[in-house]
Structure 1
Amino acid sequence: MVELEDLPNVGEKTAEKLREAGFADMMRLATATAKELAVKAEIGEGVAEKVIEAARRAEKIDFETAFDVMERRRDVGRITTGSKGVDELIGGGIETQAITEVFGEFGSGKSQISHELAVTVQLPKEKGGLDGECVFIDTENTFRPERVEQIADAFGLDHEEVLRKIHIARAFNSSHQILMAEKINELIQSGVNVRLVIVDSLMAHFRAEYVGRESLATRQQKLNQHLHALQQVANTYNVAVFLTNQVQARPDAFFGSPTKAIGGHVLGHASTYRIWLKKGLAGKRIARLVDSPHLPEGEAVFKVTTDGIVD
């Protein structure tokens, strides 16, 4: 294994700065930008470029064949949502190395699925989990440990042990939210087996802090930075990223849905899978897959019960 000190232009002092800034992992270093590395590790941008280039050579980052990509995808894991119908809709569950976004109106089940996944990621692989732990970035004070206990009990798990494997970050504004996402690298490098990152909800702070068209460009730049950090975590550590998102009315919509997800094209392009949650009759919820790189659009029906998400 290549150590930081083995890279050209990296002495003990620089290596220490890199580790303190959360760049102890070679792949994390190889996928950083020069500007990001220079700012966080407090080194010159020229030095940062050389260090990144050396890390890319060490990781052999270059062109690869489609066969190599297929082989790498064999490492992709999936986390059950608790609903067989929803799992089948999205190809077997929430996927690692990808960003899955669910959006819908209030009460459509977004936070309920978040709590469910925080538990099911801890299940063994043969039961739909990844034997892993969860990071839960809570922006709207929606996380409830009591709900986790109910779901854990339904799966026959020790709810105290389950709660110990969910790492909560209460984000108080968009800058704090971005910072907590960037700190996930440090948590993983410290030895925590994080396999799922949840942000509930992604856009709440951005929506509240950046009001009006004049602030839209700044908001989208910060959002892009945030999504880039989450995508890096997903790709570097084979982690699933699950985002909940709000919707807004479309007053000009004469046909189709009267609402749309917020976040614009930046979020639309960053999300690997997009799922629209809707309220149905008799307490049912409808999950509609609206975007995927390889799966067809479709719908699945599920219910939210005391035990969690069920068909």
Structure 2
Amino acid sequence: MSDLQSLSGVGPGKESKLRDAGIESVNELANADLDTLENAGIRQAETILDRAQRQGVQIQSGVAVEEEQQEAAKVTTSLPEVDAMMGGGLRGGFIVGVSGESKAGKTQFALQSLVAAAQYHVGEAVYIETEPNRFQTERLRSLIRDDGEMGENIRKGVNGEDGLDGLDDQDDRDDRHEEYLDDPRTDPRDVLSHIHKIEAYEPDDDVDNLRVQRNSYDAVRETFDEVSIVVVDSFIANFRLSGEFTDRSDLPDRNAVIADHLEAIQSLSNDFDCPVLLTLQVQGDPDAYSGSDFSLWGPVLMDHTITHLLHLTHGKGDKKQVELKGHPSQPDDEVTLHIPEDEPLISA
């Protein structure tokens, strides 16, 4: 089998067309542009190019990388200060850990982001539930915001202090804003129709909940054409409750399964150009993540695979601190929020 035919979807016919276009290998195909493939008469050219870029070695200039990063989707949390802290929102292709102690507001923050994605963005918002009774529609309804001034503030959080006025021309505005709805959804039933729950747990001991959770990622890819956000709440619950990992001798096997889950999640995030939020538990450790006084539950590979953290800590009353940690392009920072029960989060 030739190098090109080793790529799924490339048979002798497509290989001949690719060679006629001067493309002799998977690596050359990975660095080709879509117009070249379409002009060569390659059917499903975008799919073939995507597969080649995953399998081959892609060489990009710094300018090309910069353009790609600038074009990545940014999804609002509906909290302008948090969006601005992250450089404009939750970025497509990022795995974002929402960490904190019990009752720190992790699920509330994740649900607020889920609702905001369904309210303001194109695509479906998907919630993968691994613990019972987290997904309550009454709770989701209470998090839907009125538009108007709040909507404009949200758009400013994603686009910068000047909002859309800070972009030079109409083409820039359209490109930067294409993932936003022209008219945000405000009717609760309309918002809920774009939020989808996948139940990834079953109390039956005969059911492998880790396998159900792993299958959930594939189900998202197979079911939806466009996805604005995926939330896994909680990512590690099924690992903690699994009977497969009962002592230290099982840690290598557990870590391998976690790695497989994270690889699938990263692939999902890349394919849909959407952020994936994972709620995470922590444990005290003064030498842990970025010098903080906590560590994530799970192996060290989680620190390296998760793109960045939003770490929630308790404050006075219903105030919570949201700390940005380890973002690849933004400095560590923090903001204070009010996280009341069954009401939208607001800045303190």
2:76 equivalent to 1:80: yes
Root mean square deviation, CA, Å: 3.0
Taking the aligned partners of 2:128 and 2:9, their CA distance within structure 1 comes to 35
SS at match of 1:152: coil
Q: Residues 19-74 of structure 1, C-alpha deviation per residue, up to 9 Å, x if partnerless? A: xxxxxxxxxxx9xxxxxxxxxxxxxxxxxxxxx99941799862111211111122
1:1-311 mapped onto 2 (5 Å cutoff): 7-8=10-11, 55-56=51-52, 62-123=58-119, 129-141=120-132, 142-152=134-144, 154-155=146-147, 157-172=186-201, 173-188=209-224, 191=225, 193-209=226-242, 210-250=245-285, 259-305=294-340, 306-311=342-347
Residue identity in the other structure for 1:279:
H
Q: Which runs of 5+ in 2 are unaligned?
A: 1-6, 15-29, 31-47, 148-184, 202-208
Q: Could you say which structure has the higher strand fraction?
A: 1
Q: Contact (CA 8 Å) 2:77, 2:117: kept in 1 or not? A: no
**Closer, same or farther in 2 for the Cα pair 1:199/1:160, shift >3 Å?**
same
Q: Residues 62-115 of structure 1, C-alpha deviation per residue, up to 9 Å, x if partnerless? A: 211121111112221222223222222222211111111111011111111111
Q: Contact (CA 8 Å) 2:76, 2:89: kept in 1 or not? A: yes
Q: Which runs of 5+ in 1 are unaligned?
A: 12-29, 31-51, 124-128
Counterpart position of 1:19: none
Residue identity in the other structure for 1:198:
V
Residue identity in the other structure for 1:180:
S
Residue identity in the other structure for 2:141:
E
Q: Contact (CA 8 Å) 2:81, 2:335: kept in 1 or not? A: yes
Give the share of equivalent positions with the same residue, in percent: 29
How many residue pairs get aligned? The number is 260
User: How big is the shift at 1:251?
Assistant: 9.1
Q: Which protein has the larger Cα radius of gyration, Structure 1 or Structure 2?
A: 2
Taking the aligned partners of 2:332 and 2:50, their CA distance within structure 1 comes to 42
User: How big is the shift at 1:257?
Assistant: 5.4
**Closer, same or farther in 2 for the Cα pair 1:296/1:257, shift >3 Å?**
closer
TM-score (norm 2): 0.68
Taking the aligned partners of 2:262 and 2:112, their CA distance within structure 1 comes to 23
Q: Contact (CA 8 Å) 2:286, 2:292: kept in 1 or not? A: no
TM-score (norm 1): 0.75
SS at match of 1:183: helix
Taking the aligned partners of 1:247 and 1:7, their CA distance within structure 2 comes to 46
